[in-house]
């Protein structure tokens, strides 16, 4: 899949979408095939590092003790102190989960974090994940991780053979959005047991627009 081809599809998607009075997002939709998702070994779940933003600020919340509090408050969009964990009931935990894209956890408190937030965060895919680098030592420098998460996407298909991802917005350069799509596609292939044979089709679309077929 070439960048030039993807750029043309993005331009077509923009042309086909009526102008709105808000900035529309650009989504990349991939349909999978011949993949038995009832088997855990066929589940798709990994993090991809993009070269560009996905067109929105990625909000990050850190969960930790006093050792991480100064750095967490300085770098992240929110910091929840260990002593506050017990004050989060289901409603409050849901609100927290819905307010952030990624959560960073202090490694030696993961047991407490799982106990306090696991039932709410787990089903939403919001538990701090070591695969994304989000489980850190007590004295970690969070700046580089925060910046990395701004261009990190989670690619997941566990129940349905479809992956729906935000890859940009209509104000971004088409080449940047196209590069995000190409990066995701190339990384996804290597995480599928049948590689390209497990990919049925792919589309690009704006929030209120019609899907334009990529492959």
Q: Does residue 161 share a domain with residue 112? A: no
- Domain boundary at 121, 149, 177, which? 149
- Domain boundary at 103, 133, 149, which? 149
**What is the model's pTM?**
0.93
Determine the 3-state secondary structure of 167 from DSSP.
strand
Q: Does residue 80 share a domain with residue 144? A: yes
Q: Does residue 145 share a domain with residue 66? A: yes
Half-sphere exposure of 27 (CA within 13 A, CB side): 15
Q: Does residue 137 share a domain with residue 155? A: no
Q: Looking at residue 135, which CATH number applies to its domain? A: 3.40.50.790
Round the average pLDDT of the chain to a whole number and report it. Answer: 98
User: Is the pLDDT at 19 greater than 90, yes or no?
Assistant: no
Count of C-beta atoms within a 10 Å radius of residue 112: 16
The per-residue pLDDT for range 140-196, each reduced to its tens digit, is 999 999 999 999 999 999 999 999 999 999 999 999 999 999 999 999 999 999 999
Q: What is the mean pLDDT of residues 7-23?
A: 94
Q: Does residue 89 share a domain with residue 126? A: yes
Nearest to 59 by CA among 170, 124, 148, 149: 149
Q: Looking at residue 206, which CATH number applies to its domain? A: 3.30.190.20
The per-residue pLDDT for range 87-124, each reduced to its tens digit, is 999 999 999 999 999 999 999 999 999 999 999 999 99
Nearest to 167 by CA among 24, 1, 17: 24
- Domain boundary at 111, 128, 149, which? 149
1/106: higher pLDDT: 106
User: Is the pLDDT at 58 greater than 90, yes or no?
Assistant: yes
Decide: 180 and 168 in contact? Cβ < 8 Å.
Answer: yes
Q: Does residue 68 share a domain with residue 134? A: yes
Residue-range definition of the domain harbouring residue 75: 60-149
Domain count, the chain: 2
Q: Does residue 205 share a domain with residue 129? A: no
Q: Does residue 168 share a domain with residue 134? A: no
Q: Does residue 91 share a domain with residue 71? A: yes
User: Is the pLDDT at 1 greater than 90, yes or no?
Assistant: no
The per-residue pLDDT for range 41-56, each reduced to its tens digit, is 999 999 999 999 999 9
Q: Does residue 144 share a domain with residue 155? A: no
Q: Does residue 185 share a domain with residue 135? A: no
Residue 121's pLDDT is what?
A: 99
Q: Give residue 201's pLDDT band: very low, low, confident or very high (50, 70, 90).
A: very high
Q: Does residue 194 share a domain with residue 161? A: yes
């Amino acid at each position: 899949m070439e960048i030039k081809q993807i750029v043309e599809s993005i331009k077509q998607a923009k042309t086909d979408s009526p102008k709105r009075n808000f900035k529309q997002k650009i989504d990349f939709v991939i349909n999978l095939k011949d993949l038995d998702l009832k088997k855990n070994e066929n589940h798709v779940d990994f993090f991809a590092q993009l070269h560009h933003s996905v067109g929105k600020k990625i909000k990050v919340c850190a969960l930790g003790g006093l050792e991480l509090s100064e750095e967490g408050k300085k770098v992240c969009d929110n910091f929840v102190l260990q002593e506050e964990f017990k004050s989060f009931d289901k409603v409050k935990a849901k609100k927290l989960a819905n307010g952030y894209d990624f959560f960073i956890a202090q490694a030696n408190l993961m047991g407490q974090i799982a106990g306090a937030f696991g039932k709410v965060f787990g089903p939403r895919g919001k538990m701090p994940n070591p695969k994304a680098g989000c489980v850190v030592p007590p004295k970690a420098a969070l700046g580089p991780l925060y910046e990395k998460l701004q261009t990190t996407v989670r690619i997941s298909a566990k129940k349905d053979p479809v992956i729906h991802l935000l890859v940009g917005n209509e104000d971004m350069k088409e080449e940047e959005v196209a590069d995000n799509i190409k990066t995701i596609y190339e990384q996804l292939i290597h995480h599928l047991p049948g590689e390209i044979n497990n990919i049925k089709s792919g589309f690009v679309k704006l929030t209120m627009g019609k899907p334009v077929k990529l492959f």
